[in-house]
Amino acid sequence: MPRKLTTTKKKASRATKTAAKTATRKKTNRSAANRTKRSAASSAARRPKQTAQRSRSSSHAAVAPRYPDAISVLKHDHAQLLPLLKELKEITGTRRQRVLEQVQELLQTHTRVEEEIFYPAFRDAAQNDEDRKMYHEATEEHRTADMALRELSSASEDDVFSARAKVLQELVQHHAKEEEEDMFPRARELFPAAELKRLGDEIRARKQTLGQRSGPLAAVASLFSR
């Protein structure tokens, strides 16, 4: 075969291979793009449901359950308190004074019913060193939060107030997290459901005598104070 013809055939063969490779690459890219599109579409399809679930659960956090036991009452307090504490470090003026008063009322009543009713019951039901350690740590954290609240109430400069509000928020957030993740689940193991319900009734009755505005009426009142 003439040399020129062989070279031409080789060139043609190389061109065919290159075209095939390019086509394969394009196909792969298209498949990847399609996979991305499909994934985005399915995420978008799932998103409204997740958002709805999130907003449902957050609205549950703000509304008192119908048949509460001690743990749901205390968790409801946390859900009311934590957003107020977060807000407190960012605001000034009369709004700040109103939110501070709400925080004082909610936090003091909450720690009081825990210390008078829930914590002693937990201490008496404790079965091991870990339970007793949980009880003592929680009590000490209340003492620290109480001091931080008093320090906050006496702060007049905006920067100092904001710094102390941040410290109080972090203390309460940490404490509430430990209660909800460790102490309350342990209490569900230590107490029968009927006892937790009875403790819940006792806590709610005590709150009423302490004069705390709680539950849906408190939520309405806080809306009007904004």
Binding residues for Fe ion (CB under 5 A): 74, 114, 179
How many Cα atoms sit within 13 Å of 10 on the Cβ side?
A: 7
User: Shortest Cβ distance from residue 54 to Fe ion (Å)?
Assistant: 23
Write the CA distances from 1 to 8, 9, 10, 16, 52, integer angstroms: 12, 11, 13, 21, 75
Phi, psi of 110 (to 5 degrees): -60, -50
Determine contact, residues 138/119, Cβ cutoff 8 Å.
yes
Of 101 and 140, which CB lies nearer to Fe ion in the complex structure? 140
Of 87 and 115, which CB lies nearer to Fe ion in the complex structure? 115
User: Shortest Cβ distance from residue 192 to Fe ion (Å)?
Assistant: 21
How many Cα atoms sit within 13 Å of 218 on the Cβ side?
A: 22
Of 74 and 106, which CB lies nearer to Fe ion in the complex structure? 74
User: Shortest Cβ distance from residue 52 to Fe ion (Å)?
Assistant: 29
Contacts of 145 (CB under 8 A, 6+ apart): 107, 111, 168, 171, 172, 175
User: Shortest Cβ distance from residue 179 to Fe ion (Å)?
Assistant: 5
User: Shortest Cβ distance from residue 127 to Fe ion (Å)?
Assistant: 20
CA dist., res. 78 & res. 64, Å (int):
12
Of 77 and 99, which CB lies nearer to Fe ion in the complex structure? 77
Of 10 and 174, which CB lies nearer to Fe ion in the complex structure? 174
